[in-house]
Amino acid sequence: MGGFLGVLVMIGLGLARALPSQQEIFPFYSWFLFAVVPNAKTTYQVFFHRVGDRDVVPPRAFTQASGLIGNARSIVAHRVIQRLGAACAAGDEEEVARQRRLLEGSLPAGTQYEVMAVQSDPVAEWREHKTGTRKSLRSFEVEAPAP
């Protein structure tokens, strides 16, 4: 039985060396497709410059703002930020206003934040040690509620 598996491995290795690197033989195939499939994606993040009357230097991402805000790990807030960023990118002012109301409901007045598009490619980050790019979309300030 061990000899049979050894023969199969040798055949597979021989075929792999005989064919150009971009070829596959079913059921023996290379994993090159994972490097070819586009992995780049755009997500949105909020960076705080001020929370209430406290300046945040350097600006801190929403997900890393524990101690500054109460819901830094909230999946609901994450979804709101994704919708807010998409609305900012699309120029949909009505949706921007709706998502701002949801996000700012739990933030103190005077809070200043920036919505950024973060484009990343996990494969490129792993292979080439490149970090994603950030693009500022809009900045906002939480206003005090009307009396």
pLDDT along the chain (147 residues), means of 10: 74 66 56 60 93 92 86 90 96 96 91 93 74 90 79
Residue 60: per-residue pLDDT: 92
Task: Tell me how far apart the alpha carbons of residues 61 and 72 are, in angstroms, rounded to a whole number.
Answer: 9
Residue with tokens 């993040």: 45
Contact partners, residue 85, CB within 8 Å, separation at least 6: 43, 44, 45, 115, 116, 117, 137
Give 46's strand partners.
115
CB neighbours (10 Å) of residue 86?
Answer: 19
